[in-house]
Amino acid sequence: MNAPSVLSLDSEKSEKQSLINLFSGIEKRIGEILSRALNGQELEESDAIALFNTEGDELDALVATADYLRQKATGNEASFVITRNINFTNVCYMGCKFCGFAKRKDDAQAELLDLEEIANRAEEAWHKGATEVCIQGGLHPDIKGSHYRDILKAIKKRVPEIHIHAFSPFEIWFGALKSKVSVAEFIQDLIDHGLGSMPGTAAEILDVEIRKQLTKDKLTTEQWVEIITTAHELGLPTTATIMYGHIDEPKHWAAHLNTIRKIQKQTGGFTEFVPLGFVHYESPLYINTPNVRPGPTAEENIRMHAVSRLMLNGWIDNIQASWVKLGPEYAQQMLRSGANDLGGTLMNESISRAAGGKHGQEIVPKDMIRMISAAGRDPVRRNTLYGVVERFDDYAASGVTSESQSGFQLIATSGVFA
């Protein structure tokens, strides 16, 4: 998608000048960092750490800069995608401490969908307007490595046109291990059977010490980077994520963003960056560990989206505000703080709700359009890879609902494991 900036040269100059004037009235170091960002210079990790600590006028200036760079990168449009999340199993023995989703095999709520049911759900989604299914699951000890391929085959046989966005780097690691093949061979086989893109989830925080505490380092930072890089080198795009607001600090966020930027420079394979605030309700990490924070504060959410825009400027155009993690009002606010996308309107998302997330409520796509319009942006329905599916030019004026808003009930979520 990535429409060019709609700013005329004159208004762009005047907006830039207003920002430069704004910088002259704030703390010198922050003003200097923001000036560099405004001029398209790359920010360092130390710059990002300083920005993550801004408050008051400095924070306002950060947000205004992020909004300006967002406008230059993607224009006035803000997008969403109609997709269905299919969590094919919640059985997992990896024991990630933040995860309130995983069940043991003999738990009453344990679930393993058969291939027929997965295909049924994909077909139902397609008939209701979805262009994508997002498939992720726990690492069920009994499934074979070939199960991942079988899922793709079952969906493609039933709905050949649908885009399959599936399998986190953790699942890729697990499937390759079970299949006794290399990661590259495993991913290539999935591509050959219809995998269209991969969620860059399971990133959490790409820091050795933090990951040890979150996931016992079962999928290390190096392995995550290797799997993502391999996917990109094989031509498979992925998203990138961060899960923040638990035992982490600004220095970890800055390093994480730098790692994501380095990968993008090398491969160009990321389609978007998705900040995911930690959902603490019912999360074992929060319940059982002292000094774990209950997710990010409202200002931390704003800073994360804004700093992501600045750090990734010129490399990753799409910054997504995860509606289900943030709730509608904050998600709307993120569209004015550097984000240009609201993610998916989904059915059947269960991860955030399993961890007690509050915002898994049902919505219809027109609510997404309304939210975007209320933020002063032009709503666009996109596909997975940010191609335009539908514009809603006269929506704000007429209130007319289009076919894609036809009233089926959806659950909006970030659609990803954290």
Write out the residues near ligand SF4 by the rule CB under 6 A. 92, 94-96, 99, 101-102, 138-139, 170, 417
Min dist. Cβ of residue 281 to ligand SF4 (A) = 15
Q: Which long-range contacts (CB under 8 A, 24 or more apart) does 43-48 make?
A: 43/310, 43/311, 45/251, 45/254, 45/255, 45/257, 45/258, 46/254, 48/250, 48/253, 48/254, 48/257, 48/258, 48/307, 48/310, 48/311
Residue 191's nearest CA partner among 170, 167, 225, 174 is 167
Q: Give 97 or 261: the residue with its C-beta nearer to ligand SF4.
A: 97
Q: Give 68 or 417: the residue with its C-beta nearer to ligand SF4.
A: 417
Residue 37, Cα to own-chain centre: how many angstroms? 23
Q: Give 193 or 218: the residue with its C-beta nearer to ligand SF4.
A: 218
Cα–Cα distance list, 301 to 76, 124, 253 (Å): 21, 34, 12
CA–CA distance, 240 with 318 (Å, rounded to integer): 10
HSE-CB for 32 with a 13 A CA cutoff: 7
309 is written with which tokens? Answer: 């825009």
Min dist. Cβ of residue 203 to ligand SF4 (A) = 11
What's the maximum distance between 2 C-alpha atoms anywhere in the chain? 65
Q: Give 211 or 232: the residue with its C-beta nearer to ligand SF4.
A: 211
Min dist. Cβ of residue 231 to ligand SF4 (A) = 18
CA–CA distance, 302 with 168 (Å, rounded to integer): 26
Min dist. Cβ of residue 357 to ligand SF4 (A) = 14
CA–CA distance, 162 with 133 (Å, rounded to integer): 7
Q: Give 170 or 323: the residue with its C-beta nearer to ligand SF4.
A: 170
Pairing of strands 163-166, 132-136: parallel
Element (H, E) at 158: helix 146-158
Min dist. Cβ of residue 173 to ligand SF4 (A) = 10
Q: Give 88 or 101: the residue with its C-beta nearer to ligand SF4.
A: 101
Q: Give 71 or 289: the residue with its C-beta nearer to ligand SF4.
A: 289
Min dist. Cβ of residue 101 to ligand SF4 (A) = 5
CA–CA distance, 141 with 147 (Å, rounded to integer): 12
Min dist. Cβ of residue 213 to ligand SF4 (A) = 13
* Residues 6 or more apart in contact with residue 17 via CB below 8 angstroms: none
Min dist. Cβ of residue 207 to ligand SF4 (A) = 17
Q: Give 333 or 414: the residue with its C-beta nearer to ligand SF4.
A: 414
Q: Give 101 or 270: the residue with its C-beta nearer to ligand SF4.
A: 101
Min dist. Cβ of residue 282 to ligand SF4 (A) = 13
| 298 contacts 331 by C-beta, under 8 angstroms | no
